[in-house]
């Protein structure tokens, strides 16, 4: 007999005292295919009554004590879910911008065995695109989705939405590093491991006058997010990453050397353009070093893969799993 599935609904919070209790009260108490639902609030250094109101509303609360970032808050949620041995985790913002009833839409494909990671999408259904979403934020989200789609070679419309659901397999496989954010990194990590990702259209309401705490500064957000993605792509595709750099430097170096060669053929002298040979040689040497570094990094990537396999097995053998096997 198949045991009932356990769902954890997790909310990262930073100074959400005004809305957190209302959002918790609106969360579904039961869902098709789900045996039990529990609620976790990760208080990421709030200075208001977020923790007290979340506790009063019946949620389990973990407090960071100081603001560590939404990426760190998600990793706390992830660690708690794995330790508790839950079968599903859904995360939703505590500001009320998402419709809690739509958690059912995120969970259903996982319960049906159709997906490992389901993300809400604000853009896959054009009829649901929020009209009051700031234009620059929408443009940035679309560009980021294009970038992630290119890197993963899969089409995604919205890679920045914080309304999502994960199967236990996805929870065990996830290995994230970013403290600032986690949304785009999740796509790169799970797709690289062959897990099934699905987008479902969701409604979102942007409150007038409310500023995003993650993307309060678009340039800063873009730079920090790009840094996370760049490092992740370097770690998961080291040969492509370093060979691309090597090719760029080698082509530039060969161009300078070719210019010097053309000058010599034309004049019979190196005089006057000898600098091009030094520049071309230096650039070619740097390109060669990047190529060697790519080979070494590719060898180290095998070590990373083995370490993640070991980490997966350690997480999979949770106290609850061992009890069930016994």
- The string of DSSP codes covering 170-198 is HHHH-----SS--HHHHHHHHHHTT--EE
Q: What is the pLDDT of residues 92-131, one digit of tens each?
A: 999 999 999 999 999 999 999 999 999 999 888 887 777 7
Bridge pairing between strands 60-63 and 197-201: unpaired
Q: How far apart are CA 297 and CA 39, in angstroms?
A: 41
Last residue of a domain, one of 179, 213, 236: 236
Q: How far apart are CA 289 and CA 243, in angstroms?
A: 10
| Residue 211 sits in the same domain as residue 260 | no
Please, what sign has the CA dihedral across residues 176, 225, 215, 148? negative
The tokens describing 24, both together, are 């918790």
| Residue 309 sits in the same domain as residue 188 | no
* Mean pLDDT along residues 281-293: 95
Last residue of a domain, one of 215, 236, 257: 236
Q: How far apart are CA 29 and CA 55, in angstroms?
A: 17
Q: How confident is the model at residue 182 (pLDDT cuts 50, 70, 90)?
A: confident
Q: Are 90 and 7 in contact (CB under 8 A)?
A: yes
The pair phi, psi for residue 204, each rounded to 5°, is -145, 140
Q: What is the DSSP letter of 3?
A: P
Last residue of a domain, one of 218, 236, 254: 236
Q: How far apart are CA 228 and CA 216, in angstroms?
A: 18
Q: How far apart are CA 285 and CA 276, in angstroms?
A: 14
The tokens describing 176, both together, are 């994230």
| Residue 214 sits in the same domain as residue 304 | no
What per-residue confidence (pLDDT) applies to 147?
85
The span from the first CA to the last CA of the chain, in angstroms, equals 16
| Residue 210 sits in the same domain as residue 174 | yes
The pLDDT > 70 percentage for the chain reads: 91
How many C-beta atoms lie closer than 10 Å to residue 199's C-beta?
22
Chain-wide mean pLDDT for the chain? Answer: 87
Q: How far apart are CA 165 and CA 172, in angstroms?
A: 13
Helix, strand, coil % in the chain, rounded to nearest 5:
55, 15, 30
Around 203, how many Cα atoms within 13 Å sit in the side-chain half-sphere? 6
Q: Are 178 and 233 in contact (CB under 8 A)?
A: no
| Residue 288 sits in the same domain as residue 232 | no
| Residue 220 sits in the same domain as residue 254 | no
Task: Tell me the three state secondary structure of residue 40.
Answer: strand
Write down the pTM of the prediction.
Answer: 0.78
How many C-beta atoms lie closer than 10 Å to residue 192's C-beta?
17
What is the C-alpha radius of gyration for the chain, rounded to an integer number of angstroms? 24
| Residue 146 sits in the same domain as residue 288 | no
Alpha carbon distances (Å) from 194 to 119, 158, 189, 216: 16, 19, 9, 33
* Mean pLDDT along residues 73-81: 93
| Residue 211 sits in the same domain as residue 277 | no
Q: What is the pLDDT of residues 201-259, one digit of tens each?
A: 999 887 665 555 555 566 776 777 777 778 778 887 889 999 999 999 999 999 999 99
Give the distance, in angstroms, between the CA of residue 148 and the centroid of all CA atoms in the same chain.
10
Q: What is the DSSP letter of 98?
A: B
DSSP string for residues in 204-241 = B-PPTT---SSSSSHHHHHHHHHHHHHHHHHHHSHHHH
| Residue 159 sits in the same domain as residue 262 | no
- The domain that holds 17 is classified in CATH as 3.90.550.10
| Residue 157 sits in the same domain as residue 258 | no
The tokens describing 76, both together, are 């706390």
Q: How confident is the model at residue 3 (pLDDT cuts 50, 70, 90)?
A: confident
Q: Is the pLDDT of residue 326 over 60?
A: no
What per-residue confidence (pLDDT) applies to 18?
93
| Residue 228 sits in the same domain as residue 263 | no
* Domain count along the chain: 2
| Residue 147 sits in the same domain as residue 261 | no
Q: What is the DSSP letter of 31?
A: B
Q: Which domain holds residue 216?
A: 5-236
């Amino acid at each position: 007999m198949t045991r009932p599935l356990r769902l954890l609904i997790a909310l990262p919070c930073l100074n959400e005292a005004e809305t957190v209790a209302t959002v918790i009260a609106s969360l579904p108490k039961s869902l098709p295919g789900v045996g039990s639902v529990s609620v976790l609030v990760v208080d990421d250094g709030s200075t208001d009554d977020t923790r007290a109101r979340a506790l009063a509303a019946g949620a389990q609360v973990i407090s960071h004590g100081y603001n560590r970032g939404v990426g760190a808050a998600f990793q706390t949620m992830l660690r708690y879910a794995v330790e508790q041995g839950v079968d599903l985790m859904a995360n939703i913002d505590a500001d009320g911008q998402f419709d809690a009833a739509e958690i059912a839409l995120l969970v259903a494909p996982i319960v049906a065995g159709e997906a490992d990671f389901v993300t809400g999408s604000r853009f896959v259904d054009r009829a649901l695109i929020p009209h009051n979403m700031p234009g620059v934020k929408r443009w940035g989200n679309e560009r980021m989705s294009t970038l992630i789609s290119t890197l993963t070679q899969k089409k995604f419309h919205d890679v920045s939405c914080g309304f999502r659901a994960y199967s236990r397999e996805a929870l065990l496989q996830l290995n994230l590093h970013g403290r600032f954010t986690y949304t785009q990194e999740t796509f790169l990590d799970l797709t690289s491991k062959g897990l099934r990702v699905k987008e479902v259209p969701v409604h979102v309401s942007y409150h007038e006058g409310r500023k995003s705490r993650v993307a309060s500064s678009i340039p800063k957000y873009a730079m920090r997010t790009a840094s996370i993605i760049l490092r992740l792509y370097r770690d998961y595709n080291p040969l492509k990453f370093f060979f691309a750099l090597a090719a760029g430097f080698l082509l530039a170096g060969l161009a300078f050397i070719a210019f010097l060669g053309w000058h010599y053929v034309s004049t019979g002298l190196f005089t006057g353009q000898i600098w091009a040979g030094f520049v071309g040689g230096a650039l070619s040497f740097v390109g060669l070093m990047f190529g060697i570094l790519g080979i070494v990094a590719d060898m180290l990537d095998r070590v990373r893969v083995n370490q993640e396999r070991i980490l997966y097995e350690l997480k999979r053998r949770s106290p609850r799993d061992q009890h069930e096997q016994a």
